[in-house]
Structure 1
Amino acid sequence: MAKVKEIHVECTYLKSLPNYENVKVGASATLIIEEGDKINQIYDKAWDMVGAEIASQLAQFGGKK
């Protein structure tokens, strides 16, 4: 049976700005699976990391952090 060696998650978000322009922000993370890791917990960690980075980028354009 094949083993999962790494997990990659990626997210992009398109935000409309008040001046009728748009900004597209994005973030991704690749995490290596180690012996004894639970895959669902690694996915959760990866999405938390990516979500926090997207929020940080949006805050620079007046979005909520």
Structure 2
Amino acid sequence: MPKVTEVYVEATFTKSLPNYQNYKPTAGVRMTPSKDESTDEVFAYGWGVVHDQIAEQLKAFDDKPQSGTTKGLGK
């Protein structure tokens, strides 16, 4: 089996906005597994990081106004 020297995880989420617009946040992470980590462990960690980042980017579109921002991309 080949030795895995790098793991890359990326996700994009499409959120439909009013007026037929879309917002597509993307998050990705590139990691190098240590000797004691399995590839599956590194992928699982990477997916967790990507999920958290996408969720953070989508907070701007919650129904509740965020402190210092308005709903959507504006400040």
TM-score, L = length of structure 1: 0.85
Across the aligned residues of Structure 1 and Structure 2, the Cα RMSD in angstroms comes to 1.5
Q: Which has the larger radius of gyration?
A: 2
> Which residue number in structure 2 is paired with residue 40 of structure 1?
40
Deviation of the 1:20 alpha carbon:
3.1
Task: Provide the C-alpha distance between the structure 2 equivalents of 1:57 and 1:19, rounded to a whole number of angstroms.
Answer: 20
Deviation of the 1:40 alpha carbon:
0.9
> Which residue number in structure 2 is paired with residue 54 of structure 1?
54
Aligned residues: 63
In structure 1, the gaps of 5 or more residues are none
Q: Which 4+ residue blocks in structure 1 deviate beyond 6 angstroms?
A: none
Higher relative contact order by CA 8 Å / sep ≥ 6: 1 or 2? 1
Moved more, 43-52 or 54-63: 54-63
The structure that is strand-richer by fraction is: 1
Q: How many percent identity over aligned positions?
A: 37
